[in-house]
């Protein structure tokens, strides 16, 4: 019986590692597809997608259930470090792949690629000095399906990005806020 629980835990851990590898490959392919005009990767702020938060919460609850089952079945001292490191990994997981690039063909946000034709409007604002990402700016892109993506733009990269927005006739929809 103890070996069955250990096997279940190892299967879930292996599936999680395979998912991480698969997600990394998807993010890299989306970044290459957009043909970026800058070198550094931009940080993308979360926009509160409720279904992803619920899935993450369900996975976390499942994880705690497995922890309780395994703690009842195995030696507590041998599993403390394993579960502590796994819990730290789970708490850091949502922000692992939250990066993006802006390129000639479109915008890469996490594992999705958004062509310029699907971007409806843009809003750019310079961040205040009290903000965590100061002196960078914040570019908010809204797609035709009313999805919003908030990208933290490095000040050194503003010029080529605004040239791209002008090329795709999105510069007229930019509202600059200070």
42 assigned to some structural domain: no
14 assigned to some structural domain: yes
Query: Total structural domains in the chain?
Result: 2
What global pTM score does this model have?
Answer: 0.58
The token pair at 4 is 């069955």
**Closest residue by Cα to residue 136 from 121, 113, 152:** 152
Q: In what order do the strands lie in the sheet with 112-115?
A: 112-115, 106-109, 99-102, 42-45, 148-153, 137-143, 119-126, 175-177
38 assigned to some structural domain: no
Domain that holds residue 159: 99-177
- Gap between the Cα atoms of 169 and 108, Å rounded: 19
* 16 shares a domain with 53: yes
pLDDT digits 0-9 by tens, 64-122: 777 666 666 666 555 656 666 666 665 666 556 667 788 888 888 777 788 888 888 88
* 76 shares a domain with 53: yes
pLDDT digits 0-9 by tens, 29-71: 877 787 777 666 666 665 555 566 667 777 777 777 776 666 6
């Amino acid at each position: 019986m103890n070996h069955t629980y250990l096997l279940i835990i190892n299967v879930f851990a292996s599936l999680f590692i395979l998912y991480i590898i698969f997600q990394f490959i998807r993010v890299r392919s989306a970044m290459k597809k957009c043909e970026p005009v800058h070198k550094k990767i931009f940080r993308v702020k979360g926009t509160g997608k409720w279904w992803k938060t619920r899935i993450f919460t369900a996975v976390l609850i499942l994880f705690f259930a497995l922890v309780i089952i395994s703690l009842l079945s195995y030696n507590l001292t041998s599993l403390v470090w394993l579960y502590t490191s796994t819990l730290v990994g789970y708490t850091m997981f949502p922000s692992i792949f939250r990066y993006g690039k802006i390129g000639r063909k479109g915008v890469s946000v996490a594992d999705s690629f958004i062509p310029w034709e699907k971007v409806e409007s843009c809003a750019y604002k310079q961040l205040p000095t009290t903000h965590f990402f100061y002196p960078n700016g914040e570019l908010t892109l809204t797609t035709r399906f009313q999805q919003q993506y908030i990208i933290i733009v490095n000040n050194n990269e503003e010029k080529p990005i605004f040239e791209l927005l002008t090329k795709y006739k999105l510069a007229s929809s930019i509202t600059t806020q200070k």
